[in-house]
Amino acid sequence: MGKIKVTKVRSAINRTQNQKRILEALGLKKMGQTVEHENTPNILGMVNKVKHLVSVEESK
């Protein structure tokens, strides 16, 4: 499987507790922070829940 880079581009202020926990589980704490994850269904589902707060790129 490939990898994806997830970058936090918007703040989690005034977001639901569930969305804040998903960002934490992805390893995103600060604005502009980028993390790399395996392209698995679990990770893609988490990214889909917070897609309005993050940007996603595929990496090889």
pLDDT single digits (tens) 21-39? 999 999 999 999 999 999 9
How confident is the model over 48-59, as pLDDT tens digits? Answer: 999 999 999 998
The confidence score (pLDDT) of residue 50 equals 98
Half-sphere exposure of 21 (CA within 13 A, CB side): 3
The confidence score (pLDDT) of residue 41 equals 97
Q: Which residues contact 11 (CB under 8 A, 6 or more apart)?
A: 31, 53
> pTM for the full model?
0.93
* Mean pLDDT of the region 2-21: 97
Q: Say which DSSP state 53 is in.
A: T
CA distance 37 to 26: 8
